Chains A and B, each alone.
Chain A
């Protein structure tokens, strides 16, 4: 299980930030060619991100690029550049339906053929930022085997909903819940939206705890200082780790004995408890993430 607790946004037109993005320890870096780049700098940012992907060593940190939508003049060339550069996953903005995923998938597959990359090696992440997208989230989540995660983009979503963001996030509750459910049903990850007030650590932590409780696998972050906070929220307690170790050991013991029943401290343990224990150990870094 690959961890995606933190996806660090990096503006695509900032050479120094592109070079240093991974040193803060995010699970993924996300180079942005979309909203953080002005229309007249789109080509220049594309070149910077292409060179960064091609030449910098990110020490195994997953490299995602948020492209411009295919309805813009930039999207198709963004895909060519990042697939050629060796990107791990392409993030689509403003996904309204499965047809958006299929269009990007076709462009990515063509770019894989053109640049000699193995078919299916480039993964997709879809950001959902509208009421229409949320209502289609189930179809979106299952639109391509390349999809590894779906994410909610809150700023555009609340605008579409004729509301605004509040500290408790009540306006996002239904959308977040639907998105997580669709992700779980499709067997992919769910990533929460950014928290833009970088100085408000308490607000960030409150929102990250809520996302974790709802079942999100991680959060998009816009500042390196948010990485440690979100990782701390996802880190299991020593008690949880100790219990998880015992559950996994009991399961291994039962399997070795050929027994279908797992018991620990006189209680029967169900398969979901073992699964949860494996996830706790992955979050604690004790088993392969």
Chain B
């Protein structure tokens, strides 16, 4: 999946996450985490983000996640939706992101 332009998904409500993705001019993946759980669970959230990007086939992107106590499934959903919006066409590989 190619990140062609900036897009976002999610809200700042409790239990949710706001995810923004945009093309990375420097290539590769850059992930920035913001939010109350970042200090304690940052490594876990980062692992979820990296695994989801891999299963989506995203190799170049800047990802900013502002989470408000979101569970892993919510972060995966918000990130997948943001990537789907940022990509130019193509179908969602549901079996890969299950």
Majority-rule SS of A interface residues: helix
A148 interface hit (Cβ, 8 Å): no
Majority-rule SS of B interface residues: helix
Near B by CB (< 8 A), chain A positions 49-102 give 50-52, 54-56, 77, 80-81, 84-85
> When the two chains form the complex, which single residue of B10, B70, B72, B84 contacts A55, counting CB atoms closer than 8 Å?
B72
CB atoms of A47 and B77 under 8 A apart: yes
Question: 16 A-B Cβ contacts within 8 A?
Answer: A15-B16, A15-B70, A16-B15, A43-B85, A44-B9, A44-B77, A44-B78, A47-B76, A48-B81, A50-B77, A50-B98, A51-B73, A51-B74, A77-B92, A81-B92, A84-B98
CB atoms of B15 and A47 under 8 A apart: no
Q: Mark B63-98, 1 if CB is under 8 A from A, else 0.
A: 000000011111011101100110000001011011
A114 to B94 Cα, complex, angstroms = 10
Residues of A within 8 A of B15 (CB): 15-16, 19
Least Cβ distance of A133 to chain B in Å? 30
Task: Tally B residues with Cβ within 8 Å of A.
Answer: 23
A50 to B79 Cα, complex, angstroms = 13
A55 to B74 Cα, complex, angstroms = 10
Residues of B within 8 A of A51 (CB): 73-74, 76-77, 80
Residues of A within 8 A of B72 (CB): 55
> When the two chains form the complex, which single residue of B73, B84, B85 contacts A52, counting CB atoms closer than 8 Å?
B73
Residues of A within 8 A of B97 (CB): 50
> When the two chains form the complex, which single residue of A15, A47, A85, A114 contacts B80, counting CB atoms closer than 8 Å?
A47
Question: With A43-B81, A44-B9 known to touch, is A85 a contact of B70 (CB < 8 Å)?
Answer: no
Least Cβ distance of B85 to chain A in Å? 7
Residues of A within 8 A of B78 (CB): 44, 47-48
Least Cβ distance of A68 to chain B in Å? 15
A80 to B76 Cα, complex, angstroms = 18
Question: With A15-B16, A115-B95 known to touch, is A44 a contact of B10 (CB < 8 Å)?
Answer: yes
Near A by CB (< 8 A), chain B positions 1-21 give 9-10, 13-16
> When the two chains form the complex, which single residue of B10, B13, B92, B98 contacts A54, counting CB atoms closer than 8 Å?
B98
CB atoms of B94 and A55 under 8 A apart: no
